[in-house]
Structures are given as C-alpha cells and as structure tokens.
Amino acid sequence: MGLIFIFNKILILFFFMSMLNIVRHGYYFIQAWVKSDTENPSKYIIGKTSLILLCVSIGYVLTVIYDGLNII
C-alpha cells in the first residue's frame, strides 16, 4: 500500500511539472505573438529537445484528463 501511495505522489509531481512546462511555452508563444508586428516579425523558436518535452507534457496532461491520475 505504501509503494502505490509513493508512486501516486510521483505521478502528481510529474503532472504539475508537465503543467508548468505547458504554461511556460504558452507564455513564450504569446509573448512572441504580441511583440510581433508587420514591420518587425518575431518568431517563436523552439529547440528539438524542448519540443519533445512539450509533446510529452501535452500527451501526459491529456492522458490524465482522459483516464485520471490514480493507479488503483
């Protein structure tokens, strides 16, 4: 029973880390979008590793929304 409780806490930690990652990239995307204009366009550039982590974070959050967070 204790091992499952610890594993659930780790999953909750991963969930919040994923949410922070999504919020971070959302903030940078909106910042680049607001600063951009026709005279001086600004692009949101994301690295390959960061893109993979963002995709995993979005997938994990969608899985939690669909299935739930608990193991049991």
pLDDT tens-digit series, residues 3-61: 888 888 888 899 999 999 999 999 999 998 888 777 777 788 899 999 999 999 999 99
State the pLDDT at residue 56. Answer: 95
> What integer pLDDT is reported at residue 71 of this predicted model?
63
Per the confidence metrics, is the pTM higher than 0.95? no
Q: By the 8 A CB rule, do 12 and 69 touch?
A: yes
| Residue of 23, 17, 30 whose CA lies nearest to 60 | 17
Q: What pLDDT was estimated at residue 70?
A: 65
Tell me how far the alpha carbon of residue 21 is from its chain's centroid: 4
